[in-house]
Amino acid sequence: MKINFHTFEKSNDIPADLVIEKITNFQKSKRYDFVETLNNKDYITQCTDVFANFSNINTFVQIGIGGSSLGPEMLITSLKKSDVKFYFFNNVDTDKTVKDLEEIDVKNALFYVVSKSGGTAETLAQFAIITNKLFELGYTEKDLKNHFIFATDPSKNELRKLANEFEITCLDVPPNVGGRFSVLTPVGLLPAIFAGINIKTLCSHAYSYAHDLLASDEFIQTVSKVIALYKEGVNETVLMPYSSLLRDFSFWFVQLWAESLGKKRKGERVGLTPIPGYGATDQHSQMQLFMEGPLNKLMFLVHVDKVNNQLKLSNKFTHPKLKALNKYTLKNLMDAEFFGTLKALNEQGVSHIHLELDKLDENSLSELIIFFELLTAITGHMLEIDPFDQPGVEAGKVYSFEWLDSVKGI
Topology of 32-199 in CATH? Answer: Rossmann fold (3.40.50)
CA distance 405 to 316: 67
Q: Would you state the pLDDT for residue 304?
A: 98
Helical (H) or strand (E) element with 268: strand 268-270
Percent of the chain whose pLDDT exceeds 70: 100
pTM for the whole structure: 0.96
Helical (H) or strand (E) element with 299: strand 297-306
Q: 393: pLDDT confidence band, cut at 50, 70 and 90?
A: confident
Q: Would you state the pLDDT for residue 408?
A: 75
Q: Would you state the pLDDT for residue 324?
A: 85
Q: Would you state the pLDDT for residue 323?
A: 82
Mind listing the pLDDT tens digit for each residue in 214-238?
999 999 999 999 999 999 999 999 9
Q: Where are the domains of the chain?
A: 2-28+202-392, 32-199
Q: Are strands 85-89 and 59-63 parallel, antiparallel or unpaired?
A: parallel
Q: For the stretch 161-200, what's the b/e string if a residue is b when 16 or more beta carbons lie within 10 angstroms of its beta carbon?
A: ebbeeeebebbbbbeebbbbbbbbbbbbbbbbbbbebbbe
2-28+202-392: CATH number: 3.40.50.10490
Query: Active-site positions?
Result: 259, 284, 397
CA-based R_g, the chain, Å: 23
Instruction: Tell me the mean pLDDT in the region 355-384.
Output: 98
Mind listing the pLDDT tens digit for each residue in 169-180?
999 999 999 999
CB 333 within 8 A of CB 327: no
Q: Quick check: do 2-28+202-392 and 32-199 share a fold?
A: yes
Instruction: Tell me the mean pLDDT in the region 191-201.
Output: 99
Q: 13: pLDDT confidence band, cut at 50, 70 and 90?
A: confident
CB 83 within 8 A of CB 58: yes
